[in-house]
Amino acid sequence: MTDTVPDRDLLLRMEEITKGFPGVIALAGAQLRVARGEVHALVGQNGAGKSTLMKILNGAYRRDGGTIVFDGQPVDFHSTQQAQASGVSTIFQEINLVPYRSVAENIFLGREPRRLGFIDWPRMNQQAREILEGLNVHVDVRQPLMNLNVALQQMVAIARAVSFETKLVIMDEPTSSLDEREVETLFSVIRGLKASGVSVIFITHRLDELYVVCDRVTIMRDGRTVDERPMGEIGKLELVARMLGKELGEVRRAGATGFAERGRQATDHPLLEAEGLTRGRALQGADVTVRPGEIVGLAGLLGSGRTEVARAVFGADQIEDGEIRYQGQRRRFRSPAEAIRAGIGFSSEDRKVDGIIPHLSVRENLTLAALPVLSRAGVVDRERQREIVDRFIDRLGIKTAGPEQKIRELSGGNQQKVLLARWLCLNPKLLILDEPTRGIDVGAKAEIQRLIDELADDGLGVLMISSEIEELTEGSDRVVVLRDGKTVAEIDHDAINQDTIMTAMAHGDSEPAVQPEP
């Protein structure tokens, strides 16, 4: 790692930071060094440890090991308040302010100026106005916060942070809910902060933004810091490669996953054709087509709209514009129930949050979606249920003590198989899998991948969202790449490799760039 900044100019030095949670190592020696008055980008895949590192810095978590030197002093913050008092403020992804209260109140919450024990409203409003004007924001500070648009609310959060004599502001995905003009506004405020000597740690998944506003970048992967560079010295493609841990032009290896060689001819009649899906800022014209017997990989960085495409197709979110044709007919599912009746299954990204019901048995979890089919007049036909459960436990090789075992006692891979079975027992025509192998050990992973393969061979159309490049290169017949809610590339089987996918994710087309962008 290159030392790009001399030690004496550093405001923050975090070294060899480790942190474990029960069963997981979140940080295994992370490093972060931020100079005074710089805007420092922190990037990495989901689960790379960025958020954990920031929570350790702002006192929300305690570290297991490592040192933190802030402003020349070794520090160990016990709470966010303590960090704030020492000059570290955090602007959270979800704006942590009180919507119904006025702008001024939000800035001074907990430190309201008082006279004779009563709140001094004129002074509070005056001071709030001055702080905001210092950020070049001109709003009526007496109006409720919720009257402001998201960008301005973010400015208020920043104003609050600045009012604490902040030396370092952490911004975790501050632009995720802003439109382009609002982002510009935020950037001008960030430049203002920088000019006044305040340092900013900027976390985003939008690569373009890094180059606009950041001076240097720290790249994290698997709980470690893998690189630290001046922003101008690393191109987008290299940045993505470092985040994913791949070498540029790395040869495609065979057999890293459980997928067999793909690329069979699918039938000509598309099962699903979605065109121009639009919803808010998350989806801005996404297209995807799936034919029966085909595995279509959906690639893109976090926040590119992958899950949103799946939710829109499945009827979980309503699209504002665009067209969905299913089995040749124009359809717009108003609810997941409608989509399920039409033969679509959706296995979601987060098994624990919206997949399994931990305290129920394998049997109950497996047949959850099939209950309407299995019951007559509201009474579940236990015999048929039992039969289906036994069949799928056998077919998918689910390792369980029996159908009545609680699903939470199963391993991650087996839980995932139960969830797959939940959809398969409905005989779906289209199966949407969001990160089907996340958090599953290697052996089970290959098994699930083989299973997906077989299902496609049997004629099932599969739309597979994955952050793992190998899963996409080896498992897909085609790969659709999303970027900022738009489909930017559709890569045919013969052209699928890590370079084409990564290039499309970074630049928006699948032609490898000749030179890295500045």
Partner 1 sequence: MATQVTTDLRGTRQGSQWARTASVLQRQGVLIVLLAVFVLGVLRYGENFYSSFNLWELLRNNAYFGLIALGMTFVIMTGGIDLSVGSVVAMSAVVAARLSPDGIYVATAGAVLAGLAAGLINGGIIARFRVQPFIVTLAMLLAARGMALILSDNATYPVDFRSSFIDIGQREIGPVPLPVVIVIIAYLLGSIVLNFTRFGRHVLAMGGNEEAARLAGLPIWRVILGVYAISGALAGLAGAILAALSYSASPISAVGWELSAIAAVVVGGTLLTGGLGSVGTTLVGVLLIGLIFNVLNFERGRGTFELNVYWENVIRGVFLLVVIILQSRLARRSLGQR
Torsion of CA 242, 260, 300, 57, to 10 degrees: -50
Assess 318 for contact with partner 1 (CB under 8 A): no
> Which lies closer to partner 1 via its Cβ, residue 135 or residue 489?
135
Q: Pick the closest to residue 176 from 156, 201, 154, 204 (CA basis).
A: 204
Assess 196 for contact with partner 1 (CB under 8 A): no
Q: In what order do the strands lie in the sheet with 39-44?
A: 88-91, 168-172, 199-203, 39-44, 216-221, 224-230
The least CB distance from residue 140 to partner 1, in Å, is 8
Query: Residue 166, CB half-sphere, CA atoms under 13 Å: how many?
Result: 28
- Please identify which residue in 45, 51, 166, 185 interacts with partner 1, judged by CB under 8 A: 185
Tokens at residue 461, please?
């159309």
Assess 119 for contact with partner 1 (CB under 8 A): yes
The least CB distance from residue 187 to partner 1, in Å, is 9
The least CB distance from residue 185 to partner 1, in Å, is 6
Q: Please identify, among the stretches 182-190, 290-298, 305-313, 382-390, the one whose residues bind partner 1 according to the rule CB under 8 A.
A: 182-190
Q: What is the C-alpha to C-alpha distance for residues 209 and 46, in angstroms, rounded to an integer?
A: 18
Assess 146 for contact with partner 1 (CB under 8 A): yes
- Residues in Cβ contact with 139 at an 8 Å cutoff, skipping those fewer than 6 apart: 103, 132, 148, 152
> Which lies closer to partner 1 via its Cβ, residue 95 or residue 373?
95
The least CB distance from residue 17 to partner 1, in Å, is 22
> Which lies closer to partner 1 via its Cβ, residue 89 or residue 218?
89
Give the contact letters, 459-478, x = binds to partner 1 (CB under 8 A), - = no.
--------------------
**Is the Cα torsion angle 342, 348, 354, 355 positive or negative in sign?**
positive
Angstrom distances, CA of residue 88 to CA of 46, 201, 355: 24, 10, 37
Q: What is the C-alpha to C-alpha distance for residues 42 and 54, in angstroms, rounded to an integer?
A: 10
- Please identify which residue in 22, 78, 100, 353 interacts with partner 1, judged by CB under 8 A: 100
- Please identify which residue in 7, 9, 72, 96 interacts with partner 1, judged by CB under 8 A: 96
Count other C-beta atoms under 10 Å from residue 334's C-beta.
10
Q: What is the C-alpha to C-alpha distance for residues 356 and 408, in angstroms, rounded to an integer?
A: 8
> Which lies closer to partner 1 via its Cβ, residue 84 or residue 497?
84
Assess 24 for contact with partner 1 (CB under 8 A): no
- Please identify which residue in 35, 97, 286, 472 interacts with partner 1, judged by CB under 8 A: 97
Assess 148 for contact with partner 1 (CB under 8 A): yes
Of residues 53 through 82, those in contact with partner 1 by CB under 8 A are 80-81
Q: What is the C-alpha to C-alpha distance for residues 422 and 284, in angstroms, rounded to an integer?
A: 32
Assess 112 for contact with partner 1 (CB under 8 A): yes
Q: Please identify, among the stretches 99-107, 377-385, 400-408, 460-468, the one whose residues bind partner 1 according to the rule CB under 8 A.
A: 99-107
User: At 191, is the secondary structure helix, strand, or coil?
Assistant: helix
Assess 122 for contact with partner 1 (CB under 8 A): no
Count other C-beta atoms under 10 Å from residue 64's C-beta.
14
Assess 176 for contact with partner 1 (CB under 8 A): no
> Which lies closer to partner 1 via its Cβ, residue 111 or residue 399?
111
Tokens at residue 105, please?
């109140």
Q: What is the C-alpha to C-alpha distance for residues 258 and 141, in angstroms, rounded to an integer?
A: 59
Q: Residues in contact with partner 1, total (CB under 8 A)? A: 36
Longest dimension (CA), the chain: 81
The least CB distance from residue 259 to partner 1, in Å, is 43
> Which lies closer to partner 1 via its Cβ, residue 67 or residue 147?
147
Backbone angles phi, psi at 500, to 5 degrees: -65, -40
> Which lies closer to partner 1 via its Cβ, residue 119 or residue 371?
119
> Which lies closer to partner 1 via its Cβ, residue 156 or residue 433?
156
Where do contacts with partner 1 occur on this chain (CB under 8 A)?
Answer: 80-81, 84, 96-101, 105, 109-110, 112, 114, 117-119, 121, 136-140, 143, 146-149, 152, 155, 181, 184-185, 188, 191-192
